[in-house]
Chains A and B, each alone.
Chain A
Amino acid sequence: MFLDWSGLWLAAMSVLFVFAWRGWVVAHQPAHLMAMAEELGSTGEFSRLYNKLYPNHSNTCLVYDRYTESGMGIYFCNLADNKKKMVCEQPEKNWSWADFGMMGWSPDDTLFACVFPPNKPGQPLEEIIIYNGATGEEVIRLGAGNNSVRNFAWLSNRSFAYVYELSGGNNHVVATIEQKPDGNWIQSPVFQNIGDKSITGLVATSSHSIAWQQEASLWALDFTDGNPRNIWESSTNQLQSFTYSDKTGCFYLNCTYETNSLQICFSPPTQWHPQGAILDKPVADDKLNNAILQREGGLNALYVKTDGSSKWVHFPWQGQIQNYQVNGDCLYITGELTNQPPGIWKCDFQSGASDQIVSILDHPLKYAQLVNAVSGTFTNSVGRSALYQIWEPTHLETGKKYPLIIGQSPYEGWRPYPQIAANGGCFFVFARRPSWFEGLDNWSEDVMAVYDLMAKNPKVDLGKVYLFGVSAETYPLSQLLAEKADLWRGAILFTPGSTPDLSDVRTTKLLILAGEDEDADTVKRLIDYQDQAAKNGIVLNFTLVKGAQHIFKSSASEREETLQIARFLFGI
């Protein structure tokens, strides 16, 4: 057979050359970048949207949620020996319309209950799962109903009441679950058709009576007579929320009157008064929100009121606070503390001890470096002052400039993507807004204000500035991308509700991540958008994250997010 040896040799050499080139590109990226992205993205963070902390009454056990590889896990932690156990998991795949709900601890802390929405194909009912409060072992699993169970109250150590909606949502049912002396758990509906107004609270007022709020009215039901009674109807003072103290037997109503807030205390039916006793200050009540988060000069500080005390205690915190919960004399914080891995802390006001009880790092980071955000304040063009947080590159070199990523976010706490950006050599800045929708109108103004601040930093490469937006944030992002196209090198859009108009955009690079299981129209829209972008000469990195919907809810999805950001920013 004819064989051109010189041709063969040339082909082999050129293939080797191409591989060597690729190797050279990888070698010139920040060391271990993909390993860092993998490591940071796999940490199993606390859910940003849901994250709540449920300590028992005696502060000896804690129930919390955290992402697992495939979904969200509910963990039980015995605070005495700090042993943790996942009691159940809601898989991200087929995640239904609702999240896990904690039904609280029984009064004697021997039991706690959770409600799970359907999360398996063919499973129409929500499930109530009752666990042993000392060990976290499952006691019993009960089908609860085919609609939202979100209102519940323990009536006694062995019974609780809950409300669920019948199909269609207009009819509500009050049911109880009780453990009989023979050990069996019996579920029995007590009352049906409370009304079509949504229920926003449910409390037990005795072992056989409950109360709840519907719009601005307060209702009570005694199981012995079975008829609900309207015990409060707002007239001038509009009921916003209420609590009930079993110690005093009083209802505390948080009301508004025009623009003023006031709290009203009353104790029906014997001490009924149309306006109750109007209180000018919040009263000590273990069910009231007795901690307030404030920011002082860009730093977090909590004002906490402990049990049996009317004094507010100032509690400074050198880091981010994702969530907090006061329980008796203890304060629980999910967040970050300078130079410590993110986690959950328990702060005991009696002893003054402050311990990290859960860390999101199961072992020390091998490749990446934890970067603490530095906070500051800014004022935007419409006069709104707010906080910004900046993650700086881990290894700043003199005379070198670094890319910048800017976004606006309502969330505090650990997220892997600012970390991978900083570890790879980028500035990442978030302007903070109060909540998901509040402040969203100022997205562009806030981002521009932060851009102007960062533009003064000589280490920022203004030729490589990227915008960052998630979901609804992508509407203002798309507008800003078009309005000030010259400023931006590109944009990162997660599960975008809107995409930039291609005729306006002169950016060279876009990254879009969406859930593979988002609705089919959205996925198709994004695929078509990518085709159009490519035709328009815009490079668009596009990924559909497997098993994820609009909101990513697993470590696997978070890791994919982090890896794609690393690829996008550093070209791996």
Chain B
Amino acid sequence: MQPKLIRVFTGSTVALLAALAAAVFLCNWASETLIQPHDPVLLISTRILFWILGAVGSVLALICIFVKNPQLKLILILWFALNLIIYGIGLSWVGAHGAYGYLGGLADTFGLSTSTAETILKALFVYLLVGSSALLAWSWLQKPIVKTEAAFIKTNCIQCGGQIAFSPQNLGQKMSCPQCQSLITLGSPQPVASKPVAIGRSHEVLVRTLKISCTSCGGHIEFPTNFFGERIPCPHCQATITLQKARNLKMSCLTCDGRIEFPAHAVGQKIPCPHCKMDITLKEPA
């Protein structure tokens, strides 16, 4: 529920900020021959203020489109809204009767009365402020619960068959099976095809794990093979994903033209070519 709300809010913010930027740019263009009053807070021309407002709005909209971290988006939107609210307080503090006298050009450009233009802007800023702060607070309050509910992965001890639940963050860690006390490894830092081991007095079990990239945020996820096909929330972005075998990619070595196969999540890594031993950077095939 919460990620969806955040997505809806950031999406609407992108639309509103893009509209705001387009509107102030158009206003500046349409009233090019007019001299604009000086803004009493920042002591710059209202035209420059509008350029700044439009530019910041555009950048923020682009950040919301290109940045994956929802918390960062919300924080930036809150920062923007807070700045505007503080500016409004500044206007009152210097004795201005609201922003009414500065919005004539904007109102004319869109055939509105100045009071309507002012109301629309106020509503926009309040929406950004309330929306971003409420969602930030909510996500902050909800985070621990999400972690405990979403992060549990269930498995069976290969010695006794008993069920074990653990957080995906604990993959690769060693622990004793709560049922038979056998030492088991919940995850392995080694590659996917690791060797099964049963050593000495203690029964160490290596759980075979796979690595995939989250389809939503691109974050790496390692999971035991027996979770194949299960749907879990991504530990990074909370988007629901289906655990499946990583897709292998193929490319040719640029030096020896030898064929190299590698998992998709290894894209960007630098490795020695298994054929000619020259360093190559793994890339997605064109």
Contacts and interface: CB of A to CB of B under 8 A. Distances in A.
Contacts of B101: 533-540
Given A2-B66, A6-B11, A18-B23, A535 B104 contact: no
A530 B37 contact: yes
Interface stretch (B26-34, B148-156, B194-202, B239-247): B26-34
Given A2-B67, A22-B109, A572-B30, A14 B104 contact: no
Interface in A528-572: 530-531, 533-544, 560, 563-564, 567, 571-572
Interface in A13-29: 13-15, 17-19, 21-22, 24-25, 28
Contacts of A508: 114
A19 B29 CA distance: 12
B110 interface: yes
Given A10-B11, A535-B95, A541-B104, A530 B35 contact: yes
B34 A541 contact: yes
Q: In the complex, which range does the number of interface residues on chain A fall in?
A: 35 or more
**What size tier do the contact residues of chain B reach?**
35 or more
Given A7-B10, A509-B104, A537 B98 contact: yes
A22 B26 contact: yes
A3 B65 contact: yes
A28 B111 CA distance: 9
Contacts of B15: 10-11, 13-14
Interface string B72-116: 000000000000000000000011111011111001111100100
Given A2-B66, A542-B34, A563-B33, A11 B14 contact: yes
Interface string B1-30: 000000000111011111101110010001
A535 B64 contact: no
B97 A14 contact: no
B61 interface: yes
Contact of A544 (B35, B94, B96): B35
B259 interface: no
Given A19-B26, A541-B104, A4 B65 contact: yes
A543 to B, nearest CB: 6
Interface in A158-183: none
Contacts of A535: 40, 94-97, 101
Contacts of A539: 100-101, 103-104, 107, 114
Contact of A543 (B33, B38, B94, B100): B33
Nearest to A13: B15
- Interface-central residue, A537, A541, A542, A560, by most chain B CB under 10 Å: A537
A80 interface: no
A8 interface: yes
Contacts of B110: 21-22, 25
Contacts of B114: 508, 539
B66 A540 contact: no
B268 to A, nearest CB: 12
B109 A14 contact: no
A527 interface: yes
Task: Name the prevailing secondary structure of the A interface residues.
Answer: helix
B99 to A, nearest CB: 9
Contacts of A4: 10-11, 14, 64-66
Contacts of A564: 33-34
A3 B15 CA distance: 15
Contact of A7 (B19, B64, B104, B107): B64
Interface in A314-331: none
Nearest to A542: B35
B218 interface: yes
B121 to A, nearest CB: 14
A535 B101 CA distance: 6
B195 to A, nearest CB: 36
B147 interface: no
Given A7-B65, A536-B101, A531 B40 contact: yes
B14 A25 contact: no
A48 B238 CA distance: 76
B52 interface: no
A527 B102 CA distance: 14
Nearest to A22: B26
B68 interface: yes
B108 to A, nearest CB: 4
Contacts of A1: 66
Contacts of A572: 30, 108
B260 interface: no
B175 interface: no
B217 interface: yes
Contact of A10 (B18, B100, B104): B18
A24 B109 CA distance: 10
Interface in B143-202: none
A290 to B, nearest CB: 47
A202 to B, nearest CB: 45
Given A533-B37, A563-B33, A14 B108 contact: no
A11 B37 contact: no
Contacts of B217: 2
Interface string A490-529: 0000000000000000001100000000000000000100
Determine which residue in A535, A543, A572 has the highest number of CB atoms from chain B within 10 A of its CB, and name it.
Answer: A535
A208 to B, nearest CB: 58
Nearest to B118: A537
A500 B16 CA distance: 38
Nearest to B64: A7
B14 A540 contact: no
A458 to B, nearest CB: 25
A391 B286 CA distance: 71
Contacts of A3: 65-66
B149 to A, nearest CB: 26
A15 B18 contact: yes
A215 to B, nearest CB: 46
Nearest to B68: A2
A321 to B, nearest CB: 34
B26 A571 contact: no
B33 A560 contact: yes
Nearest to A8: B65
A29 to B, nearest CB: 9
B16 A14 contact: yes
Contacts of B35: 527, 530, 542-544
Interface of B: 10-12, 14-19, 21-23, 26, 30-31, 33-35, 37-38, 40, 46, 61, 64-68, 94-98, 100-104, 107-111, 114, 217-218
11 contacts: A4-B65, A7-B61, A8-B65, A11-B17, A14-B18, A18-B26, A28-B111, A534-B96, A535-B94, A535-B101, A537-B100
Given A18-B23, A537-B98, 4 more contacts: A25-B111, A531-B40, A534-B37, A541-B34
The 4 A-B pairs of least Cβ separation, nearest first, read A539-B104, A534-B101, A537-B97, A534-B37
